[in-house]
Amino acid sequence: LTEADPQQPGSYPLCPYVQLTPAINQPARLNAHFVTPKLATDAAFAGWHLADDWDQPVWGWVIVNFADYGLQFFTSEGQFYVELPLGGPTSAITSPRWQPFNPPSQPSKFVSPQLSQLVQRLSDRNGGVYLRSFFQKITSAIETMPHAPPDYAAYATSIVGKPLALVEVGFSLELAHAPLRSQIVPSPPEPLGLAVSTEREPLLSYKFPIKIGDAERPFHGVVGFFDNIDGVTDWEKLHTYFTSRSLVATREEGDPCVPILPENFDTLSPFHTAPDEFTSSADYVAAKAERLLVKTMLIDPYTPLHVYTPILPITFLQLPAWTVQRALEKMSAFFRLGPVLLTKDVPARYDPSNPLDTETWM
């Protein structure tokens, strides 16, 4: 075009210019994987393992108990761990661990460190504000999520509430081949603001924002997520869509919720890992796992997790069906009853000669 057409809003000719979205000029993909921590011989964190289809990526389950206005926590295998109802002097009541069931002989083998840390944070001295905010964000998220499938009605927990899964998810931006090299002769000047020392660094120094989940879409399955650095979860900040910018300035002390906004989107830098540089496939997979941006997430097990970027198609990730089914089959549903009015006083002492059965019910 040698001359722009005159601007005539609402009529032709319209503006002849178009806006091009950001893009990478070579094949790339956005990766999303469930991950589990690898532990060294001394139980120290030794990196991330990409979960296969037969691995259990869930390290805890949360069920909202609407009858008792609280949260029930289960282990990855569906064994009840603890319930945290709202109320009491500190706005949080911690029930005894494992009750009303008998505790396992070795509890540390059943409860992950992350689940113990989360429950401890929710039930500590200032946990009332934390637990109340955590509960409110979960209930707000469930209202916008798709309903559980009909087969969930076959499980006992369906009479209590909807289950949510606690997992670790890793994200990365991977190139199909090594970054393209400039063919300009002579070489162009270095980009402003980028400290470039090799030919590969210009592309690898770019940072592309990603958006994890979207509350405005009907297939959204993310309640929120925590930052995870080298296997350590930061429980002080719950990034979620179910809070607003206006509430940040007035939120209570101890409220962990941080709104997910464009200005605090996480970013990824592209990378390329050449398979021929490794002697085994395990080393190659481990090298790719080192590039992951890992988040500790609370998600809907029945709804895919979606990740968005301005340069690539949407990527989604969903829990295998067997991980949900196996845990729900072992879960028990219960809630408190009372106070209850009786026609006569409860015996002060237990009478072993009068066992509790259908003929001795009061």
Answer whether 37's CB lies under 8 Å from 45's CB.
yes
**Is it true that the peptide bond before 146 is cis, omega within 30 degrees of 0?**
no
**Across 188-194, average pLDDT:** 58
SS3 content of the chain, % helix, strand, coil (to 5): 20, 25, 55
Alpha-carbon span 241 to 308, nearest angstrom: 15
Alpha-carbon span 105 to 150, nearest angstrom: 36
Give residue 253's region: left, alpha or beta (phi > 0; psi -120 to 50): beta
- Which of 12-21, 218-227, 315-324 has the lowest average pLDDT? 12-21
Indicate whether 38 pLDDT > 80.
yes
- Residue 197: per-residue pLDDT: 47
Indicate whether 174 pLDDT > 80.
yes
Name the pTM for this structure. 0.81
For residue range 299-310, list pLDDT tens digits in order. Answer: 999 999 999 998
Alpha-carbon span 60 to 57, nearest angstrom: 9
Alpha-carbon span 46 to 284, nearest angstrom: 16
Answer whether 135's CB lies under 8 Å from 255's CB.
no
Which residues, 6+ apart, have CB-to-CB distance to 103 below 8 Å?
97
Which residues, 6+ apart, have CB-to-CB distance to 18 below 8 Å?
none
Alpha-carbon span 28 to 174, nearest angstrom: 6
For residue range 64-123, list pLDDT tens digits in order. Answer: 888 778 888 999 998 889 888 887 666 667 777 877 777 888 877 888 889 999 998 888
What sign for the dihedral angle of Cα 298, 302, 308, 313? positive
Alpha-carbon span 169 to 32, nearest angstrom: 7
**Across 232-258, average pLDDT:** 79
Helices of type H across the chain: 113-123, 127-144, 201-204, 281-289, 321-330
